[in-house]
């Protein structure tokens, strides 16, 4: 095949991941073997559902060096009976297609001394969810998973979830990730004082929150005692004055 019939790419997607490729290491070894290249840059495995509700996995692979796909941006690898779907049926082939290079790098973003490191969410809808309710963000642990593994802003150390007339949250990070999403969020907050978030990119498509929900991210100005643990929450009730000068009780998960 001539060079004019091939496409050099720096990222690929294994459309339906065989069950034999269970880990990112398995995926990396498979790609390196099939394309005759060295180590890959990153692997991200995403759990998905087909239009009829059948679950499957896709893998998004960023390359350290360009690889060649057939013209049209794909390669089909014959299974020869060695690869299977999640339900055990034999795959005829494994399909690999060109993908956009992932922005979800988990390298640490180096911040200058004095730069803000945590965010404030003034309103968290109690029915906040995605993927038709399969993913619900109604606990501090679920929100931590969202900010760290789905939106991928950084490594979360703790979340203060405040329940009152409205639910709010403060998100504290051990470090921020150095990727396009985190840089975009920080730039928007620095310039406009807030960032409107209505979903996240899962490596394949942008997934919006269900029911047109959204959250607003702002710079947090409240200090946090880092000796607390996300995995061992306790609650504390405080009294405060709302916008109507009425006393309200707020239950804070700390």
Residue 161 domain-assigned? yes
Residues 242 and 126 in one domain: yes
| Residue 104: per-residue pLDDT | 59
Residues 190 and 229 in one domain: yes
Question: Which parts of the chain sit beneath pLDDT 70?
Answer: 1-4, 102-105, 203-205, 224-254
Which one, of 29, 50, 46, 49, lies nearest residue 38 by Cα?
A: 29
Q: Reduced to 3 states, what is the DSSP secondary structure of residue 1?
A: coil
| Residue 43: per-residue pLDDT | 82
156: left (phi over 0), alpha (psi -120 to 50) or beta: beta
| Residue 237: per-residue pLDDT | 42
Residues 84 and 184 in one domain: no
Residues 153 and 27 in one domain: no
d(CA 153, CA 179): 8
| Residue 224: per-residue pLDDT | 67
| pTM of the model as a whole | 0.56
Cβ neighbours, 10 Å, residue 28 = 18
| Residue 73: per-residue pLDDT | 85
Could you list the residue range(s) of the whole structural domain that residue 244 is in?
118-253
Spatial contact of 199 and 207, defined as CB atoms under 8 Å apart: yes
Residue 52 domain-assigned? yes
């Amino acid at each position: 095949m001539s060079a004019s019939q091939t496409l050099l790419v720096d990222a690929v997607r294994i459309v339906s991941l065989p069950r034999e490729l269970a880990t990112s290491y398995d995926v990396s070894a498979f790609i390196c073997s099939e394309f005759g290249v060295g180590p890959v840059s990153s692997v991200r495995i995403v759990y998905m559902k087909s239009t009829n509700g059948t679950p499957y996995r896709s893998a998004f692979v960023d390359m350290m060096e360009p690889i060649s796909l057939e013209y049209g941006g794909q390669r089909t690898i014959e299974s020869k009976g060695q690869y299977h779907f999640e339900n055990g049926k034999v795959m005829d082939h494994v399909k690999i297609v060109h993908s956009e290079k992932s922005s979800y790098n988990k390298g640490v973003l180096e911040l200058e001394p004095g730069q803000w490191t945590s965010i404030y969410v003034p309103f968290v809808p109690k029915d906040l969810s995605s993927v038709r309710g399969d993913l619900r963000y109604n606990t501090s642990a679920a929100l931590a998973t969202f900010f760290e593994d789905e939106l991928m802003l950084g490594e979360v150390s703790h979340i203060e979830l405040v329940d009152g007339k409205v639910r709010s949250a403060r998100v504290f990070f051990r470090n921020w990730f150095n990727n396009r999403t985190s840089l975009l969020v920080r730039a928007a907050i620095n310039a406009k004082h807030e960032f409107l978030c209505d979903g996240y990119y899962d490596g394949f498509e942008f997934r919006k929150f269900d029911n047109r929900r959204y959250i607003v991210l702002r710079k947090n100005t409240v200090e946090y005692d880092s000796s607390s643990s996300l995995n061992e929450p306790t609650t504390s009730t405080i009294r405060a004055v709302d916008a109507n000068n009425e006393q309200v009780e707020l239950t804070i998960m700390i």
